[in-house]
């Protein structure tokens, strides 16, 4: 990295305890969109655990105008403090004192959406990770925890609703049509969990009785027009509350749980204590406007934020390097919640798909970092797939290693030891180790070493001794600053199948008895051999059942062996995976054919296996839909030495079109068998059916025949729900036919008043594989509904095009790259967090051919040359180039 930039790198090893602690915080907000006055009263004292004598006090503060400052009730003389760009410094404070500051901020000008800002009819906050310092001067770090008392003052007409964390302890009227509300949060919390919301909102109210019989008020705040779209979120919340009691014995702790939906939000949602703020896309749903996937995502995010109340809020992070302590753990918890609410195998498959398509790519590139990073310039850049989703896999491995009872004991011990504290990942793993009576020292490498490990498995069968050896080698590629890796401790869940597909008993040599059909081998060394005895014939190994570790598995399966696993293995993940491996081989072979100028032809055996699966009436339909979905272009790309986006797209499309033609009758039949028999209900248990039906339609549409287009257009016009509407519109949007324009126009006309649906409309066009897509996307930037200030809208167009349309983004002309860089530079001044997120596609430049490499690098350099580049964008671009 260049040494000329002014950004300071924060390193994990430099952690020191805070010099001062804050016991209580009193805040008073005179709310106004243009100018809000924030009066704070902090009870500070020197930290008894600090290193050395109490030095100067350095409070964090950004974009604040200091109006007044008092220490112990006396106005501070100018020589006793200084205001720096990002700090307020008091060189020589007493041991214990009260600091009162009045600052002025402007929510309306806050387009970064961090701190206090305007979204539609309300003022709201986002403080994680470092937004609180944009509200008032503070020790804005998670290990400074305090009790907050907050008074909000606003004109009653503009903001009838005034919310903050905790309990409302006082309300009242003030002159000039203003009113106020005072809130007290009895739980000590770090500043990142602080929240206020004020605006013209209405609430959906409900009740929840906890396992100990306490009655909790549930309040979901939205704009009046959205009140009818809250039922699913509320039902999901109640399910999450019950689930956490049943699975982890965790009960809610305040009397009220509030959720507010806002349209302008940088990420999905935020777990502020007692007052979650949500991106409205993860709250609002109706059958007409939300797809089955949307319903699913809402349940997941509602669960996630709720589960944070224990894993994140009651026990929080000591410093931001420990982020996965709360995020990895909470991802694991929300995954398990969703798995219990729907099909567990399908949930696992979807999670693995996401991990492999996004986290693996991150781990293989210049932005690779450990689950617990070592250094950052901008912490917001580390809310990453690695910290969240690989972090979740790490927790899952602990659960697999310890077993359900051991894991639960470990969780209980963790809560018992650390409730109310700000801790590190080490404390969590120690609780697991102590509860399970295990040494997890080596396991900690998962937190410290980046990169995706590769397991290479070979085997050897000896008929004379009826013994079977599995030889497992593990390695991990070099990542930035980590050239060498040590072996990981990991669970390899497996089984053995005979050639009829029957599961064989698994007895390791030296063991007596025991004839389990599935077991977990623990790996610790770079190479290990496991010898099974009493094996009657050379078996087919079923490896990494339920995807027991976030690794890449290499085993040289024959086509017959993959078919055997696909049709007979007891583990649904392995069944699915065998099909994916097979499909991947077929497509990548075709890629090679195409690259070498040979014609493409699809093997009959592949079509036959596909037909068998498609017509297997015994299969669960949601599972079937997963099994019949080909590996994504991005996942195929990961497996190529040099990514050829055109060849991948064409080979994959060729397979889809060939299947669509040769199995047309079967696809039509299955589609008909899945036709709806009554009106849509999101929870009717038929979402798998709808998914399969829409998948059949997309295969039928792949060759582009008129009857298929008619069928799609017919479904589009008659659909009574968004799942089927999008299911038809998506293939139409990718089809060069007159119905395309017609359907997109009708869709927009019908839904132009609904933000969430208009986002879908932008995305459908941005992800179309038609050759003219980039020009359409550029034209859409000028659409009256496109706004650079709204993150969802930016993601729906710019993000969707650059992250979900590999073949068009990587157009050989480089036009896609220029487009993206232009938008990043525009966003840089508006919203640095969103701008930085948009840079990631460029970080993959090394994976492409020389010409594309050159062009992508040029755009990265253009970004880096921009004067006034935000450090968020700088960090990603500089590491990428």
Are the C-beta atoms of 283 and 233 separated by less than 8 Å? yes
Is 90 or 127 the residue whose CB approaches ligand B3K more closely? 127
How far apart CA 735 and CA 737 sit, in angstroms, is 6
Annotated catalytic residue 305: yes
Q: How far is the CB of 130 from ligand B3K (least distance, A)?
A: 9
Are the C-beta atoms of 207 and 217 separated by less than 8 Å? yes
3-state secondary structure 650-717: HHHHHHHHHHHHHCHHHHHHHHHHCCCCCCCCCCCCCHHHHHHHHHHHHHHHCCCCHHHHHHHHHHHH
Q: How far is the CB of 626 from ligand B3K (least distance, A)?
A: 26
Are the C-beta atoms of 260 and 218 separated by less than 8 Å? no
Q: How far is the CB of 717 from Zn ion (least distance, A)?
A: 40
| Residue ranges in contact with ligand B3K by CB under 6 A | 128-129, 267, 269-271, 304-305, 308, 327, 380, 383
Catalytic position from the list 26, 300, 305, 393: 305
How far apart CA 840 and CA 364 sit, in angstroms, is 13
Are the C-beta atoms of 71 and 79 separated by less than 8 Å? no
Of the candidates 71, 42, 68, which has an alpha carbon nearest to the alpha carbon of residue 144? 42
Task: Report the DSSP beta bridge partners of residue 468.
Answer: 461, 532
Is 303 or 832 the residue whose CB approaches Zn ion more closely? 303
User: Choosing among ligand B3K, Zn ion, none, which partner's interface includes residue 314 (Cβ < 5 to 8 Å by kind)?
Assistant: none
Is 276 or 400 the residue whose CB approaches Zn ion more closely? 276
CA dihedral 632, 633, 637, 642 (to 10 degrees): 170
Q: How far is the CB of 60 from ligand B3K (least distance, A)?
A: 16
User: Choosing among Zn ion, ligand B3K, none, which partner's interface includes residue 129 (Cβ < 5 to 8 Å by kind)?
Assistant: ligand B3K
Is 621 or 871 the residue whose CB approaches ligand B3K more closely? 871
User: Choosing among Zn ion, ligand B3K, none, which partner's interface includes residue 372 (Cβ < 5 to 8 Å by kind)?
Assistant: none
Ramachandran quadrant class, 95 (left: phi over 0; alpha: psi -120 to 50; beta: rest): alpha
Instruction: Say which residues have a Cβ less than 8 Å from residue 74's Cβ, sequence separation at least 6.
Output: none
Q: How far is the CB of 117 from Zn ion (least distance, A)?
A: 20
User: Choosing among Zn ion, ligand B3K, none, which partner's interface includes residue 766 (Cβ < 5 to 8 Å by kind)?
Assistant: none
Is 327 or 759 the residue whose CB approaches Zn ion more closely? 327
Q: How far is the CB of 334 from ligand B3K (least distance, A)?
A: 9
The alpha carbon of 284 is separated from its chain's Cα centroid by a whole number of angstroms, namely 19
| Residue-wise burial string across 183-221, b where 16 or more C-beta atoms lie within 10 A, e elsewhere | bbbebbbbbbbbbbbbbebbbbebebeeeeeeebebbbb
Cβ atoms within 10 Å of 616's Cβ, excluding its own: 11
Q: How far is the CB of 326 from ligand B3K (least distance, A)?
A: 8
How far apart CA 361 and CA 347 sit, in angstroms, is 21
Interface size with Zn ion, residues (CB under 5 A): 2
Is 333 or 755 the residue whose CB approaches ligand B3K more closely? 333
Is 563 or 824 the residue whose CB approaches ligand B3K more closely? 824
User: What values do phi and psi take at 834, rounded to 5?
Assistant: -70, -40
User: Choosing among Zn ion, ligand B3K, none, which partner's interface includes residue 383 (Cβ < 5 to 8 Å by kind)?
Assistant: ligand B3K
Q: How far is the CB of 127 from ligand B3K (least distance, A)?
A: 9
Of 306-345, binders to Zn ion (CB under 5 A) are: 327, 330
Of the candidates 415, 395, 405, which has an alpha carbon nearest to the alpha carbon of residue 436? 405
Is 324 or 330 the residue whose CB approaches Zn ion more closely? 330
3-state secondary structure 301-366: HHHHHHHCCCECCCEEECCHHHHHHHHHHHHHHHHHHHHHHCCHHHHHHHHHHHHHHHHHHHHCCC
Is 345 or 392 the residue whose CB approaches Zn ion more closely? 392
Is 342 or 384 the residue whose CB approaches ligand B3K more closely? 384
Q: How far is the CB of 35 from ligand B3K (least distance, A)?
A: 26
Q: What is the helix, strand, coil percentage profile of the chain, to 5?
A: 45, 20, 35
Q: How far is the CB of 382 from ligand B3K (least distance, A)?
A: 9
3-state secondary structure 513-529: CCCCCCEEEEECCCEEE
Of the candidates 38, 31, 153, which has an alpha carbon nearest to the alpha carbon of residue 103? 38
Axis crossing angle, helix 664-673 with helix 687-701, rounded to the nearest 10: 150
How far apart CA 260 and CA 163 sit, in angstroms, is 10
User: Choosing among Zn ion, ligand B3K, none, which partner's interface includes residue 754 (Cβ < 5 to 8 Å by kind)?
Assistant: none
Residues designated catalytic: 305
Binding site for Zn ion (CB under 5 A): 327, 330
């Amino acid at each position: 990295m260049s040494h000329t930039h002014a950004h300071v790198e924060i390193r994990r090893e430099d952690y020191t305890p805070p010099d001062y602690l804050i016991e209580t915080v009193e805040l008073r907000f005179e709310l106004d969109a243009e100018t809000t006055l924030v009066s704070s009263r902090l009870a500070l004292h020197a930290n008894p655990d600090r290193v050395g004598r109490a030095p100067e006090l350095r409070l964090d503060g950004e974009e604040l105008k200091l109006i007044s400052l008092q220490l112990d009730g006396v106005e501070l003389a100018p020589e006793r403090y200084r205001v720096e760009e990002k700090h307020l410094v008091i060189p020589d404070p007493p041991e214990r004192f009260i600091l009162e500051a009045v600052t002025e901020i402007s929510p309306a000008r806050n387009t970064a959406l961090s701190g206090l800002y305007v979204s539609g009819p309300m003022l709201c906050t986002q403080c994680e990770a470092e937004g609180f310092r944009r509200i008032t001067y503070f020790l804005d770090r998670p290990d400074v925890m305090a009790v907050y008392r907050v008074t909000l003052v606003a004109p009653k007409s503009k903001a009838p609703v005034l919310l903050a964390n905790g309990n409302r302890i006082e309300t009242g009227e003030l002159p000039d049509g203003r009113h106020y509300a005072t809130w007290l949060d009895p739980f000590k919390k770090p500043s990142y969990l602080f929240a206020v919301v004020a605006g013209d909102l209405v609430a959906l109210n409900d009740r929840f009785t906890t396992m100990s019989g306490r009655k909790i008020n549930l309040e979901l705040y939205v704009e009046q027009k959205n009140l009818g779209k809250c039922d699913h979120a509320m039902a999901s919340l109640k399910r999450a509350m019950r689930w956490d009691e049943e699975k982890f014995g965790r009960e809610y702790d305040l009397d009220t749980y509030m959720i507010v939906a806002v349209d302008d939000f940088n990420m999905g949602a935020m777990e502020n204590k007692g007052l979650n703020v949500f991106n409205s896309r993860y709250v609002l749903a109706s059958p007409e406007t939300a797809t089955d996937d949307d319903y699913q995502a809402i349940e997941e995010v509602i669960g996630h934020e709720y589960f944070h109340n224990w894993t994140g809020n009651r026990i929080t992070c000591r410093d931001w390097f420990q982020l996965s302590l709360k995020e990895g753990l909470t991802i694991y918890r929300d995954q398990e919640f969703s798995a219990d609410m729907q099909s567990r195998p399908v949930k696992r498959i979807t999670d693995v798909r996401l991990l492999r398509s996004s986290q693996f790519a991150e781990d293989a590139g210049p932005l690779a970092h450990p689950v617990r990073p070592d250094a950052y310039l901008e912490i917001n850049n580390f809310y990453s797939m690695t910290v969240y989703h690989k972090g979740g896999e790490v927790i899952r491995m602990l659960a697999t290693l310890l077993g359900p009872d051991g894991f639960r004991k470990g969780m209980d011990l963790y809560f018992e030891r650390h409730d109310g504290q700000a801790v590190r990942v080490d404390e969590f793993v120690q609780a697991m180790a102590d509860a399970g009576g295990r040494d997890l020292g080596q396991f900690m490498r998962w937190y410290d070493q980046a990169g995706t490990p590769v397991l290479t498995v070979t085997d050897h069968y000896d008929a004379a001794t009826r013994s079977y050896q599995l030889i497992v080698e593990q390695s991990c590629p070099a990542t930035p600053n980590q050239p060498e890796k040590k072996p990981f401790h990991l669970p390899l869940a497996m089984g053995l199948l005979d050639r009829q597909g029957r599961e064989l008993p698994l007895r390791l040599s030296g063991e007596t008895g025991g004839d389990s059909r599935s077991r977990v081998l623990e790996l610790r060394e770079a190479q290990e051999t496991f010898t099974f005895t009493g094996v009657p014939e050379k078996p087919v190994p079923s490896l990494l059942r339920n995807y027991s570790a976030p690794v890449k598995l290499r085993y040289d399966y024959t086509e017959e062996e993959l078919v055997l696993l696909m049709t007979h293995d007891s583990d649904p993940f392995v069944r699915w995976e065998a099909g994916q491996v097979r499909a991947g081989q077929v497509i990548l072979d075709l890629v090679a054919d195409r690259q070498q100028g040979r014609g493409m032809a699809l093997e009959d055996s592949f079509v036959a296996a596909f037909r068998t699966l498609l017509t297997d009436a015994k299969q669960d339909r949601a599972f079937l839909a997963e099994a019949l979905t080909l590996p994504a272009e991005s996942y195929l790309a990961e497996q190529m030495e040099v990514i050829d986006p055109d060849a991948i797209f064409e080979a994959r499309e060729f397979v889809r079109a060939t299947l669509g033609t040769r199995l047309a009758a079967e696809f039509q039949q299955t589609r008909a068998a899945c036709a709806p028999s009554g009106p849509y209900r999101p929870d009717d248990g038929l979402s798998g059916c709808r998914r399969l039906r829409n998948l059949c339609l997309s295969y039928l549409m792949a060759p582009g025949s008129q009857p298929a287009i008619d069928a799609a257009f017919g479904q589009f016009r008659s659909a009574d729900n968004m799942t089927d509407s999008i299911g038809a519109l998506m293939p139409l949007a990718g089809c060069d036919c007159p119905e395309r324009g017609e359907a997109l126009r009708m869709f927009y006309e019908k839904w132009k008043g609904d933000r969430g649906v208009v986002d879908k409309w932008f995305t459908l066009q941005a992800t179309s594989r038609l050759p003219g897509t980039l020009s359409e996307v550029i034209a859409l930037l000028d659409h009256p509904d496109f706004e650079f200030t709204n993150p969802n809208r930016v993601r729906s167009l710019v993000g969707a095009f650059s992250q979900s349309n590999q073949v068009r983004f990587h157009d050989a002309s480089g036009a896609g790259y220029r487009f993206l860089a232009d938008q990043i530079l525009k966003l840089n001044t508006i919203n640095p967090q969103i701008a930085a997120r948009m840079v990631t596609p460029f970080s993959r430049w090394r994976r492409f051919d020389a010409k594309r490499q050159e062009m992508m690098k040029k755009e990265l350099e253009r970004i880096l040359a921009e004067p006034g580049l935000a450090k968020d964008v700088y960090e990603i671009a500089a590491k990428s180039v």
